[in-house]
């Protein structure tokens, strides 16, 4: 039996950074809110317009791919995410995460709207990255001559505490120790102790777990968005495959896909958060701040990468600069009220573009 030495289909080993701008919403249309973003998909370019001394000055940013308000879920998935899921099926670890201000479409991008199409057989047009990835994985596994096991876990990071979203427990109080998890480090990376890893046989099994976990996720209201999530969620799908290659040798591959919906990147004063929420938001900002520092350190080739400074970066350690491939989907809004946050997201995402990972196939 041999461990597969995989070769990557993706040419670039940089972290892939995708920019997505959501459409204007009803309120913005009603208020005729000025727009400050222009997306040129063909040039993979976003132009950010700012009023400087009475003149609109455009600043251009380039990413691996850019998706404007007209681009739907299928287009984003097929062009940006599907090749990454292929890598997972070839035995690589990959992470896709959604970054951006609350209300810019992170959850829409990752989970999407109604999953099922009207006839109930296919995914709907508005289904997001997670259901599409699950579909692609099972479609592939069903089409090859291979034994496989698919396992899922789903956790949340909230206030620097890790919660198992799939553990059966008191979902409402969320205070039970049973739900709280400890992170341990071993030679292969960070291990979350006692995290439920559930074996699934079909896409429908995973959807059930997703719904169970999402219902358990903590949300808090803010002035910016009623369902603003202050937590980071990490959905993980592990695929073990046992195949026979052309020479008759048995090959084992393990691929892992992390799907991360990050907490909103806005600062607390804008969202109106106070007291307890301010504390929560402070922690969230600290985690995102650390993620930013980690990105900067990786870009600069610094000897010290401050992964350990927050739980989020400890958990994502293998997704940034490690052995996995990473895709960051940076979400922005097109309108003028969001311009400060938009600029900060564009800067953040642009810095992330220069990280280099070292892809290696998992070996057993
Ligand atoms: P976040 O998770 O970043 O807080 P949401 O995903 O909740 O943001 O999106 C905010 C609102 O905008 C939702 O009503 C969502 O359906 C809508 N929305 C976001 N992105 C898109 C898009 N690309 N196309 C259509 N609607 C979108």
**CA gyration radius, the chain:** 20
Q: Comparing C-alpha atoms, which of 106, 140, 148 is closest to residue 259?
A: 106
Residue 216 is predicted with a pLDDT of 74
Q: Is 275 helix (H, G, I), strand (E, B) or coil?
A: helix
The answer to whether ipTM exceeds 0.95 is yes
* Residue 281 pLDDT level (bands cut at 50, 70, 90): low
For residues 183 and 98, what is the distance between their CA atoms, to the nearest angstrom?
Answer: 23
* Residue 325 pLDDT level (bands cut at 50, 70, 90): confident
305-331 average pLDDT score: 82
Please state, in angstroms and as integers, the Cα–Cα distance from residue 359 to each residue in 283, 323, 326, following that order.
31, 5, 10
Pocket test for ligand 1, best of 105, 226, 262 (most atoms within 8 A of CB): 105
CATH of 2-10+69-332, one of 3.40.850.10, 3.40.50.410, 3.40.140.10, 3.40.50.620: 3.40.850.10
Pocket test for ligand 1, best of 18, 19, 22, 37 (most atoms within 8 A of CB): 22
Nearest CA to ligand 1 atom 9: 105
Domain-by-domain residue ranges, the chain? 2-10+69-332
Residue 146 is predicted with a pLDDT of 82
Backbone angles phi, psi at 127, to 5 degrees: -60, 140
Residue 2 is predicted with a pLDDT of 47
Q: For the ranges 83-87, 189-193, 194-198, 265-269, which has the lowest average pLDDT?
A: 265-269
Would you say residue 4 has pLDDT above 60? no
Residue 363 is predicted with a pLDDT of 40
With a pLDDT cut of 70, the percent of the chain lying above it is 77
* Residue 68 pLDDT level (bands cut at 50, 70, 90): very high
Question: Is residue 6 a contact partner of residue 64, using CB atoms and an 8 Å limit?
Answer: no
Instruction: Name residues contacting ligand 1 (CB within 6 A).
Output: 22-23, 100, 102-108, 225, 228, 264, 331
H-type alpha helices, the chain: 26-30, 73-76, 82-89, 106-110, 129-143, 203-216, 268-271, 275-299, 311-315, 339-352
Distance 113 CA to ligand 1 centre (A): 9
Q: What is the mean pLDDT of the chain?
A: 80
With a pLDDT cut of 90, the percent of the chain lying above it is 36
Q: Comparing C-alpha atoms, which of 330, 298, 303, 329 is closest to residue 313?
A: 298
Residue 274 is predicted with a pLDDT of 52
Write down the number of H helices and E strands in the chain.
10, 16
Residue 206 is predicted with a pLDDT of 84
Would you say residue 173 has pLDDT above 60? no
Q: Comparing C-alpha atoms, which of 182, 174, 153 is closest to residue 216?
A: 174
């Amino acid at each position: 039996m041999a461990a597969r030495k995989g070769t990557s289909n993706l040419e670039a080993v940089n972290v892939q950074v995708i920019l997505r701008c959501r459409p204007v919403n009803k309120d913005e249309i009603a208020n005729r809110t000025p727009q400050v973003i222009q997306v040129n998909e063909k040039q993979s370019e976003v132009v950010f317009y700012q009023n400087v001394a009475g003149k609109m000055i455009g600043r251009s940013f380039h990413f691996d791919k850019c998706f404007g308000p007209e681009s739907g879920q299928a287009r984003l998935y097929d062009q940006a995410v599907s090749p990454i899921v292929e890598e997972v099926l070839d035995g690589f670890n990959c992470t896709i995460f959604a970054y951006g201000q609350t209300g810019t479409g992170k959850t829409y991008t990752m989970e999407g709207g109604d999953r099922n199409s009207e006839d109930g057989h296919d995914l709907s047009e508005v289904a997001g990255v997670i259901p599409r990835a699950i579909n692609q994985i099972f479609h592939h596994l069903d089409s090859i001559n291979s034994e496989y096991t698919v396992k899922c876990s789903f956790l949340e990071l909230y206030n620097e505490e890790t919660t198992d979203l799939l553990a059966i427990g008191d979902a409402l109080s969320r205070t039970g120790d049973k739900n709280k998890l400890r992170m341990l480090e071993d030679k292969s990376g960070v291990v979350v102790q006692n995290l439920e890893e559930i074996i699934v046989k079909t896409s429908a099994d995973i959807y059930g777990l997703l719904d169970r976990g999402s219902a358990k996720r903590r949300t808090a209201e803010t002035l910016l968005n009623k369902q603003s999530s202050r937590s980071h969620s990490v959905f993980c799908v592990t695929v073990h495959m046992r195949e026979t290659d052309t020479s008759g040798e048995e090959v084992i591959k393990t691929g892992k896909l992390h799907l991360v919906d990050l907490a909103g990147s806005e600062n607390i004063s804008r969202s109106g958060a106070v007291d307890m929420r301010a504390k929560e938001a402070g922690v969230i900002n600290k985690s995102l701040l650390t993620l930013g520092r980690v990105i900067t350190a990786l870009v600069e080739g610094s000897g010290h990468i401050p992964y350990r400074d927050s739980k989020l970066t400890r958990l994502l350690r293998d997704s940034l600069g490690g052995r996995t491939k990473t895709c960051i989907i940076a979400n922005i809004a097109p309108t003028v009220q969001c311009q400060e946050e938009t600029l900060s997201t564009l800067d953040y995402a642009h810095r992330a573009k220069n990280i280099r990972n070292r892809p290696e196939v998992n070996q057993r």
